[in-house]
């Protein structure tokens, strides 16, 4: 039993079962035993690999998309920010591409929204020469034009799960049984935020909600609507709740979400529709990551980089391109959503939202 598991057992014994949201928060961010608090989870030696770690092309194309958006909105002085910047790889690659745009980096102040002390130290190694400013939350950013990227940030925000039961909802919770952590259900009760779904939701349907994600989207949208800018949100998920997507990953393999609390990454699919509805600014259509990257020219960039490669290095490069773009890998599972001010051009790689999506 992990040290955090012992803490959770004692807490459940004293206070009763906890929501999945509370369980996720403790597992990921407990100040002593939290998953993100205690380790660098990325790469071959970690538990998972994100797109920026697969190839420099990903961050470069993100940077160029944001750069064109900045040009389209008049080249203001601005905040360049990333939510959950991992090792700093994406921001490093993006700013290298932005360096080809006259005046852009000179107009930017880089902010990194990061809760993990371990990852902040890794980011400082990569980005220290750019003098980034670390903050704990989006609310800590200056009130200024904002160009922002969030890659695999929203999937780690704590969710709640509700099962349609009678005229109400039974919440799925984490309790204990026979000395082990176990899922259970509360007694059905009305849930105000889900009342509109009761008539159209069949009995036994499971719905996931993520109020922290909607809160971040609302604040992000407010800033963009008020000051200008753009946001690119890249994550796995779709428009709407997709049932039970709560999962744990350790050593690049799916594991039980309750087996080793604090030792595995916990995530859930992102409801992009909920993010778009929460943001008080314009949003783009939801585009698969592969389509987004191909539209930005990743294949042309890959061919250019391949010219100096041979043997295993060339094979790895080709595999990286496929992993980022192919529908059977990250190309379809991951999606991209953009936020912009009303009336502003959408960032390259994306499409304007159909009026029916507003």
Closest CA to 35 of 43, 24, 49: 24
pLDDT tens for each residue of 178-194 = 989 999 999 999 999 99
Closest CA to 181 of 32, 4, 34: 4
Which DSSP category does 55 fall into?
-
- Considering the domain architecture, whether residues 297 and 349 belong to the same structural domain is answered as yes
pLDDT score for 357 = 46
pLDDT score for 252 = 79
Domain boundary among 192, 208, 224: 208
pLDDT tens for each residue of 238-272 = 998 778 999 999 887 889 999 989 999 999 999 99
- Considering the domain architecture, whether residues 295 and 154 belong to the same structural domain is answered as yes
Residue by residue, DSSP assigns 62-100 as HHHHHHHHHHHTT---EEEEEES-TTSHHHHHHHHHHTT
Tally the C-alpha atoms within 13 A of residue 242's C-alpha that lie toward its C-beta.
Answer: 13
| Separation of first and last alpha carbons in the chain | 48
- Considering the domain architecture, whether residues 44 and 143 belong to the same structural domain is answered as yes
- Say how many C-beta atoms besides its own lie within 10 A of residue 340's C-beta: 25
Q: Cα 357 vs. chain centroid, distance in angstroms?
A: 21
| Contact (Cβ atoms closer than 8 angstroms) between residue 158 and residue 20 | yes
Domain boundary among 149, 173, 208: 208
- Considering the domain architecture, whether residues 144 and 68 belong to the same structural domain is answered as yes
Q: How many domains does the chain have?
A: 2
- Considering the domain architecture, whether residues 270 and 303 belong to the same structural domain is answered as yes
- Considering the domain architecture, whether residues 250 and 282 belong to the same structural domain is answered as yes
- Considering the domain architecture, whether residues 216 and 282 belong to the same structural domain is answered as yes
Distance in angstroms (rounded) separating the CA atoms of residues 262 and 92: 29
Distance in angstroms (rounded) separating the CA atoms of residues 27 and 43: 20
| Contact (Cβ atoms closer than 8 angstroms) between residue 155 and residue 240 | no
- Considering the domain architecture, whether residues 219 and 286 belong to the same structural domain is answered as yes
Positions in the chain whose pLDDT score sits under 50? 355-358
| Contact (Cβ atoms closer than 8 angstroms) between residue 339 and residue 282 | yes
Sequence-distant (6+) residues with CB within 8 A of 20 are: 158, 159, 160, 161, 172, 173, 174, 246
- Considering the domain architecture, whether residues 226 and 196 belong to the same structural domain is answered as no
| Domain range enclosing 197 | 3-33+160-208
For tokens 């709407």, name the residue.
240
Q: What is the CATH number of the domain that holds 86?
A: 3.40.50.12710
pLDDT score for 167 = 86
Sequence-distant (6+) residues with CB within 8 A of 152 are: 50, 51, 84, 86, 234, 235, 236
- Considering the domain architecture, whether residues 248 and 316 belong to the same structural domain is answered as yes
Which DSSP category does 188 fall into?
P
Element (H, E) at 234: strand 229-238
List of E strands, 56-193: 78-83, 108-113, 133-135, 146-151, 160-165, 168-177, 180-185
Helices (H) and strands (E) in the chain, counts: 14, 17
- Considering the domain architecture, whether residues 84 and 26 belong to the same structural domain is answered as no
Closest CA to 34 of 45, 25, 42: 25
Phi, psi values for residue 171, rounded to 5°:
-85, 135
Closest CA to 236 of 131, 150, 148: 150
- Considering the domain architecture, whether residues 10 and 144 belong to the same structural domain is answered as no
């Amino acid at each position: 039993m992990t040290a955090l598991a012992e803490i959770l057992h004692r807490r459940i014994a004293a206070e009763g079962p906890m929501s999945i949201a509370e369980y996720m928060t403790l597992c990921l961010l407990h100040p002593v035993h939290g998953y993100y608090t205690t380790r660098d989870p990325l790469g071959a030696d970690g538990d998972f690999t994100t797109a920026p770690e697969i190839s420099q092309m990903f961050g470069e194309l993100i940077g160029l998309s944001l750069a064109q958006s900045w040009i389209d909105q008049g080249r203001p002085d601005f905040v360049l920010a990333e939510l959950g910047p991992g090792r700093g790889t994406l921001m490093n690659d993006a700013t290298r591409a932005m360096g080809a745009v006259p005046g852009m980096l000179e107009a930017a102040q880089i902010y990194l929204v990061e809760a993990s002390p371990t990852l902040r130290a890794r980011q400082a190694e990569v980005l220290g020469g750019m003098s980034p400013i670390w903050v704990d939350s989006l609310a800590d950013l200056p009130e200024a034009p904002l160009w922002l990227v969030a890659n695999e940030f929203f999937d780690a925000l704590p969710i709640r799960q509700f099962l349609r039961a009678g005229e109400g909802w039974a919440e799925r919770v984490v309790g204990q049984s026979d000395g082990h952590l176990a899922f259970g259900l509360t007694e059905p009760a009305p849930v105000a935020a889900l009342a509109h779904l009761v008539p159209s939701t069949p009995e036994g349907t499971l719905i996931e909600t993520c109020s922290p994600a909607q809160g971040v989207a609302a604040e992000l949208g407010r800033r963009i609507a008020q000051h200008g800018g753009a946001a690119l949100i890249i994550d796995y998920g779709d428009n709407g709740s997709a049932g039970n997507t709560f999962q744990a990953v350790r050593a690049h393999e799916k594991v039980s979400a309750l087996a080793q609390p604090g030792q595995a990454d916990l995530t859930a699919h992102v409801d992009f529709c909920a993010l778009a509805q929460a943001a008080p600014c314009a949003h783009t259509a939801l585009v698969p990551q592969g389509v987004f990257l191909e539209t930005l020219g990743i294949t042309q960039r890959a061919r250019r980089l391949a010219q100096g490669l041979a043997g295993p290095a060339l094979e790895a490069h080709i595999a990286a391109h496929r992993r980022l773009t192919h529908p059977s890998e990250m190309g379809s599972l991951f999606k991209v959503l953009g936020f912009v001010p009303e009336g502003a051009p959408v960032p390259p790689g994306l499409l304007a939202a159909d009026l029916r999506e507003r």
